[in-house]
Structure 1
Amino acid sequence: MGRRLIVMAAGAGVVVAAGAMLLVSGEQGSRAAGSSARLPALEDPLTGQEVARAGAIASAGSRSHLAAGRTKLLYVERDDDKDSAGHRRADAYLYDYGGDRLIVRTVDLGRGTVVRETVARGVQPPPSKEEENTAAGLLLGDPRYARGLREAYAKAGGGPLRSATALGLRGLIFTPSGESGSARQCETHRCLRLFVRLPDATWLDTSRIVVDLSAKKIHTLEW
């Protein structure tokens, strides 16, 4: 299929596209042409399309691990490296739960390629929304806490709790500091302190609970 033909008659405000003719005002035609031709500037926030594209490119080499849940794409941010030579880039953050490694892949959005990769252990970026939901799902699957959580949710006016996504969640990375017991595994694992907001705007007491995303289990802090 050949290149689509687009012709604009400035005075008449006529647009011909692939054989179809649209009549628009001169001002509207100019505005439409300007918006369609404008590309994001280097300092502009990433568009939704760019975020999705960068995530797909960065994840291409980890698809089997992503499908198995051993690695997850956390989020994508604009890369502000001054050495980008004017190219628009994005940093994709992935976490390998099996090896407890943070993988950051920098994607050149113009070329559609990964131009840099860094791998580090012991580096814990803030949790993603998906990780907060995963942590809440593990909490709901734990027989020690699931019943109390469901009862508190219903009592707060939420009715039956059908999914972790119905909860108001806020997660913070947990780093052990002199703890004993199983929570010491969080020295190397990716672990969250999960704060749960109920429908009546009160917060569930989860102060002793740590969710271990690497081991997929719950630790109870010993005080």
Structure 2
Amino acid sequence: MGRQRIVMALAGAGAVVVVGAALLLPGGQGSQAAEAAPREPVPGDPLTGAEIARAGDIASATSRAHMAAGRVNLLYVERDDGKDAEERRRAEAYLYDYATDRLIVRTVDLGRGTVVKESVTRGVQPPPSKAEEVRAAELLLADPQYGTGVREAYTRAGGGQLRSASDLGLRGLIFTPGQENGPRRCATHRCVRLFVRLPGGTWLDTSRIVVDLSAKKIHTLEW
């Protein structure tokens, strides 16, 4: 009976040692083995951050010289929901060429790492990107008529000295000439109406201002 107790005690001690050894494996391998491996995204899943960045790099590979010169801008990347994408991970990258006022949409097959389709259109204006909102604000700040007023309004609102356009709260909408007596060139150019939020939540009155991103000019609406 005593020998049985000793054997059982040793067996129990051995179990403790084994468990302890598993917990002390280098790099936490014991706990990692218990975790499920991350699931690979399937065609219907939203794009991951890494996929968005990769699709943008692939789609803009042939336009980098124009992008560096400010002529072309990558607006955004979205998941391709077309029928051809039902069985593959594909993304659509939207680029805009300000020199020719053309919207370029390139479809990227993420599995192959290549552009499989490209469409080029004129007269189509998707919503402005965040980068375009900042660019429009930079043009506004550089304007001799409006730039000083924006900086002074920012300081009066309690924001101190305005360091850059990124300090402003920005919201942009595409402007197209309609019943308003606006610049006719905005019928083909990429033009933005910019709404500027100041510190404290107040909004700057920019209702008469239109920023022409294609011509890099500021227009004032007359009414």
Same fold (TM > 0.5): yes
Flag the structure with higher helix content. 2
- 1:177-197 per-position Cα deviation (integer Å, ceiling 9, x unaligned): 14446x111000000000000
- Between the aligned partners of 2:66 and 2:150, the Cα distance in structure 1 is 31
**Distance in 2 (alpha carbons) for counterparts of 1:113 and 1:198:** 43
Instruction: Specify the SS of the correspondent of 2:64.
Output: helix
Q: Is contact 1:124-1:173 (8 Å) kept?
A: yes
Deviation at 1:147, TM superposition (A): 1.0
Q: Distance in 1 between matches of 2:121 and 2:100?
A: 10
Unaligned runs of 5+ in 2: 1-20
CA distance in structure 2 between the partners assigned to 1:148 and 1:77 by the alignment:
37
Q: Distance in 2 between matches of 1:23 and 1:209?
A: 59
Q: TM-score, with normalisation over the residues of structure 1?
A: 0.86
Q: Partner of 1:220 in structure 2? A: 220
Q: Secondary structure at the match of 2:99?
A: coil
Alpha-carbon distance in 2 for matches of 1:23, 1:109? 33
Residue in 1 that maps onto 2:186: 186
Which residues of structure 1 form unaligned runs of 5+? 1-11
Shift of 1:74: 0.4
RMSD, aligned CA: 1.8
Matched-pair identity in %: 70
Supply the AA of the counterpart residue of 1:213.
L
Query: 1:45 offset after TM fit, Å?
Result: 1.3
Specify the alignment match of 1:29 in structure 2. 33
Structure number with bigger Rg: 2
| In 2: Cα distance, 1:190 partner to 1:214 partner | 6
Q: Determine the structure 2 residue equivalent to 1:9.
A: none
Question: Matched residue pairs, number?
Answer: 202
Task: Give the TM-score normalised by structure 2.
Answer: 0.86
Q: Is the contact between residue 13 and residue 29 of structure 1 (CA under 8 Å) also seen in structure 2?
A: no
CA contact (8 A) 2:44 2:86 kept: no
Matches within 5 A, 1:145-160: 145-160=146-161
